[in-house]
A and B are shown apart, each in its own frame.
Chain A
Amino acid sequence: MPVDVVSAHNLTFGYETKPVLANISFSIAGGDYVGLVGPNGSGKSTLVRLILGLETPAAGQVSLFGAPSGTFRDWHRVGYLPQKNAALARFFPATVREVVAMGLVAKRVGGDGGHGGRGRSHARKAVQRAMELVDIASIGDKLIGALSGGQQQRVLLARALVKEPELLILDEPTIAIDPEIRERFLDVLSGLNREGGTTVLLVTHDTGSIGKYAKKLLYLEREVIFYGGFDEFCLSEEMTKLFGVFAQHLICHRHE
């Protein structure tokens, strides 16, 4: 029986007296493309941090490829694009190529038919492939601080993709990006999911686009309000009644 790529069981988390997530349970199978949505403060980024083992749950468990995230070691299987930090790159003296290569730090890097080849030549080729995928190969030797916000986001995406992960987790990847670039960005993700079988978990406020790309929706507001296919969501009158405009927005764009 295939193991779920991500699974959470009765996951609970809070900061001191402030509860953030309560009894979250869901699972993401290989090849799924899940849009994680919810209002501000609903716990989306916190859930991502719990999945990645960056926080420890107060109760319950979350697993990656069947292993508890706190003890997970196969990081070459997971690509992560964190929420953009405006101050992150401004003065850092690294080129685009050097930043993308940081994605290969994971102990074991697959590639070339899964034989896990290492060595500088393999690493250079992997970096070049990742840069070409997100259309930044021409600026490989520029310093990251000299790039625009959109270009920096593409560099960070290439960093997440360079190890050809089986699971890609992206936290608000399209913030402060031009609409044209946003569409190309989401097309790349869609291609990776459709053709490469990469599992995608995308946290977003961009309800206009998510309906066109994701197969499933995970709606979070401290607890799981809804998890399932978009068609189920559309048919759920209670969801529409409860969440009115927000839900309608998702539904409208899905059917464009």
Chain B
Amino acid sequence: MDILDFLQYSFILRALVAGSFIALLCASLGVILVLKRLSLIGDGLAHVTFGSVALGLALRVQPIYVSMPVVALSALAILKLAEKARVYSDAAIGIVSAFGISGGVVLASIAGGFNVDLLSYLFGNILSITTGEVAVSALLSLVVLAVIALRYSALLSLAFDEEFARTSGVRASRINALIAVLTAVTVVLAMKLVGIMLTSALLIIPALCAFQAARSFKGTLVFAAATAVASVWAGIFLSFVLNLPTGATIVLLNFAFFLVLYGIKAAPAFLSRLR
């Protein structure tokens, strides 16, 4: 099968379009999260997403309509815990994450146990995405990307040196809250692509790939986006041809890109040690 045959299937096209938007979003936000040392917030919010999906399924409501507000509120709760309860950020993520997972398990048990629906949210199912879901993913991704573009300077300044940013008039607490909400939206959207279990990988790994080749911050964002989109396209293609789980294939390819880029960067020093 070649690429043109592959593109004839409408479900593949839908997956590529939605996957590309979500990949762009994860890569852009992921760079900022990693630099702010919030790499694990994606994982924490993904666990909350599990709980909110279980709640949605139990209430027989489309999970995305429950997940968006619940995960956004959880993201803000993580911020508040870190600020007011004098808890380190990683511990705040841990508390909220644990609440989300355990809440989801209890709800699933009350509703009659784990079923196929819940499992598909755990591991993603981009090849089953509907046209409506593509439209929602694209629209929300464009909104988030526009916000990132509009607040680019403040986000960069905050990620580099929060204290200095505050003395430049950046409203740090508002921008941090904005980042939390954008992350929540991104995590919920990414659930369809790679699943709850692997969402944080799509936030972190493209950023780490970009850092290996970084020549500027703008270049880092572009490189992270390119790596993420390439992983999605190659992952969808390979998973279809080889009958593999799509979400996991995308993440494994992303990881392979990281290994190659790290290898290229580390090779000169390694070779000079051998001589």
Contact = CB atoms under 8 A, between A and B. Distances in A.
B169 A75 contact: yes
B214 A52 contact: no
Contacts of B164: 80, 82, 102, 159
Given A94-B160, A102-B156, A105-B153, A143 B167 contact: no
Given A75-B169, A105-B168, A88 B161 contact: yes
A93 B168 contact: no
Given A93-B214, A94-B216, A95-B217, A54 B167 contact: yes
Contact of A95 (B159, B166, B216): B216
Contact of A75 (B156, B168, B211): B168
A80 B167 contact: yes
Contacts of B216: 93-95, 98, 141, 143
Contacts of B210: 93
A220 B164 CA distance: 24
B168 A102 contact: yes
A107 interface: yes
Contacts of B157: 102, 105
Interface string B147-176: 000000110110111011111111000000
Contacts of B156: 94, 98, 102
Contacts of B35: 92-93
Q: Range of interface residues on chain A?
A: 20 to 34
Interface in A46-89: 52-54, 73, 75-76, 78, 80, 82, 85, 88-89
Contact of B169 (A73, A82, A89, A98): A73
A21 interface: no
| Interface of B (DSSP majority class) | helix
A93 B170 CA distance: 21
Given A54-B167, A105-B168, A93 B160 contact: no
Given A98-B216, A143-B215, A92 B160 contact: yes
Contacts, number: 73
B265 to A, nearest CB: 13
Contacts of A15: none
A51 to B, nearest CB: 10
Interface string A207-243: 0000000000000000000000000000000000000
> Taking each of B153, B170, B217, which has the highest tally of chain A beta carbons within 10 Å of its own beta carbon?
B217
Interface residues of B, number: 25
A98 B217 contact: yes
A248 B170 CA distance: 43
A75 B167 contact: yes
Contacts of B153: 101-102, 104-105
B220 interface: yes
Nearest to A79: B167
Given A93-B220, A98-B217, A141-B215, 12 more contacts: A54-B163, A88-B160, A91-B211, A92-B35, A92-B159, A94-B160, A95-B217, A98-B216, A102-B164, A103-B168, A105-B157, A141-B216
6 contacts: A75-B167, A82-B161, A89-B160, A92-B159, A102-B156, A143-B215
The 7 nearest A-B residue pairs measured at CB? A93-B214, A75-B169, A94-B217, A102-B157, A93-B220, A105-B168, A80-B167
